[in-house]
Amino acid sequence: MAIFGDQLHLAHRALGEAAAAALAVTDPTVHDLRLIAIINGLNNLSEALLRDGKADLSIPDYNEPLSALPKSPEVDRETLISRAELEWSRAAFLASRINNPTYHTEMLYRVVESQSFGSQTIVNEFPHLESKDDKTAPSNPSQIHPLDARADKLLLKSSETAKLINRPVWRDRALVAAATAAAHSKQYARGLQIAQMIPQPEVRSDALVKIAEAQARGDDPDGATATYHEAAVAVASIPLDDPRAILAGVLIDNLISVGRFEDARRLIVLYPDESRRLTALGAIAESQGFRGASESAIEWITKEIPKEHQPVLYRKLRFGMLAAIEQNRSRDMSSRDR
Q: What is the pLDDT of residue 112?
A: 97
Is 299 a residue whose pLDDT tops 70?
A: yes
Confidence class for position 337, pLDDT limits 50, 70, 90: low
Nearest to 159 by CA among 217, 109, 107: 109
**What's the mean per-residue pLDDT of the chain?**
88
Q: What is the pLDDT of residue 127?
A: 86
Residues 6+ apart with CB under 8 A from 188: 182, 211, 214, 215, 220, 223, 227
Q: What is the pLDDT of residue 2?
A: 53
Nearest to 245 by CA among 215, 213, 222, 267: 267
183 by Cβ neighbours in 10 Å (0-12 / 13-18 / 19+) ranks as buried
Mean pLDDT over 65-76 rounds to 59
Q: What is the percent of the chain where pLDDT is above 90?
A: 76
What is the C-alpha radius of gyration for the chain, rounded to an integer number of angstroms? 26
List of long-range contacts for 5-9, beta carbons under 8 Å, 24+ apart? 6/48, 8/45, 8/48, 8/49, 8/52, 8/83
Q: What is the pLDDT of residue 255?
A: 96
Q: Is residue 272 a contact partner of residue 244, using CB atoms and an 8 Å limit?
A: yes
Is 140 a residue whose pLDDT tops 90?
A: no
Is 1 a residue whose pLDDT tops 80?
A: no
Q: What is the pLDDT of residue 63?
A: 57
- 169-212 pLDDT per residue, tens: 999 999 999 999 999 999 999 999 999 999 999 999 999 999 99
Q: What is the pLDDT of residue 330?
A: 79
Mean pLDDT over 290-303 rounds to 94
- 243-265 pLDDT per residue, tens: 999 999 999 999 999 999 999 99
Confidence class for position 71, pLDDT limits 50, 70, 90: low
Is 135 a residue whose pLDDT tops 50?
A: no
